[in-house]
């Protein structure tokens, strides 16, 4: 198992952060990492996601929404063609810090035997991609306030 975790404080309500995070149709307007998401934030929905990492790698994958906790947590899980080889669970958490202030946590937990072969460069690419998305989310929420 390997976890990549990032976080950022955002001046905005949990409801506003949630609204931006779950409005998949507008990701292309603000998100430098997750370019498009086809699907809805509903448990059991299979999404089609196009990403571009900070190092320019483009990938398409189809995870399934596993958890939707309104204004607090959104999770999806993806599996390689052969489950158990390289699987990931993406978790977005919004923690209220005070009035109109939240901590946004963006992480992925990787499992499967290929995790042991991931490189430091790949981990840095993913971490930088998460951080770019976090900053863009912060900017989008705070500009709308």
Strands (E), the chain: 2-10, 34-38, 48-52, 58-61, 64-69, 73-78, 87-98, 101-111
Q: What is the pTM of this model?
A: 0.94
Note the pLDDT of residue 120.
85
Note the pLDDT of residue 118.
78
Query: Which residue ranges form the domains of the chain, and what is each CATH number?
Result: 2-23+65-144 (3.30.530.20)
Q: Give residue-wise pLDDT tens across range 53-110.
A: 999 999 999 999 999 999 999 999 998 777 788 899 999 999 999 999 999 999 999 9
Angle at which helices 14-21 and 120-144 cross, to 10° = 120
Residue 45's pLDDT band, with cuts at 50, 70 and 90, is very high
């Amino acid at each position: 198992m390997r976890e990549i975790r990032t976080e950022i404080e955002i001046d905005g309500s949990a409801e506003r952060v949630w609204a931006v995070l779950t409005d998949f149709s507008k990701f292309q307007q603000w998100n430098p990492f997750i370019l498009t998401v086809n699907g809805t934030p509903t448990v059991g929905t299979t999404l089609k996601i196009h990403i571009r990492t900070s190092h320019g790698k483009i990938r398409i994958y189809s995870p399934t929404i596993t958890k939707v906790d309104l204004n607090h947590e959104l999770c999806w899980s993806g599996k390689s063609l052969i489950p158990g080889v390289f699987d990931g669970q993406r978790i977005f958490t919004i923690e209220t810090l005070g009035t109109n202030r939240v901590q946004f946590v963006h992480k992925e937990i990787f499992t499967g035997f290929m995790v042991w072969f991931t490189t430091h460069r790949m981990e840095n690419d993913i971490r930088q991609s998460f951080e770019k998305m976090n900053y863009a989310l912060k900017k989008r929420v705070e500009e709308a306030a």
